[in-house]
Amino acid sequence: MIIEDPSAKLPAIESQKSLVVGTGSIYALTMDREFNGYQWLKWLNNKKTTWVLRLRKDTHINGKSAKFYSSTRKDKHAKKKSVFGLPLYFGCKSIKKGRADFLYVVSNNLTPNDALETYKKRWSIEVLFGHLKKKGFNFENTHMSDKKKIDKLMAVLTLAFLFTIGWGILLKEQNLLNAHQKRKSTFRLALDLIQSMFRKPNKHKEKIELFHQWVASDLNPQIFVV
pLDDT at 128: 79
Packed helices 205-216 and 147-174: angle between N→C axes, nearest 10 degrees: 110
Tell me, what's the pLDDT at 225? 43
Strands (E), the chain: 2-4, 26-31, 51-54, 60-61, 64-65, 81-83, 86-94, 102-107
Give the model's pLDDT for residue 54: 94
pLDDT at 72: 59
pLDDT of residue 134: 79
- The DSSP-derived string for 15-66 is SSS--PPPGGGEEEEEE-TTS--HHHHHHHHHTT--EEEE--TT-EETTEEG
What per-residue confidence (pLDDT) applies to 4? Answer: 60
10-residue mean pLDDT profile of the chain (226 residues): values are 58 47 80 90 92 92 84 67 93 80 92 91 80 84 87 88 86 80 86 91 90 78 47
Q: How many residues does the chain have?
A: 226
User: What's the predicted TM-score (pTM) here?
Assistant: 0.62
What's the pLDDT score for residue 138? 86
Q: Coil, helix or strand for 95?
A: coil
**C-beta atoms surrounding 170 within 10 Å:** 18
Largest CA distance in the chain: 66
Print burial letters for 174-191: b (CB count within 10 Å at least 16), e (below 16): eeeeeeeeeebebbbbbb
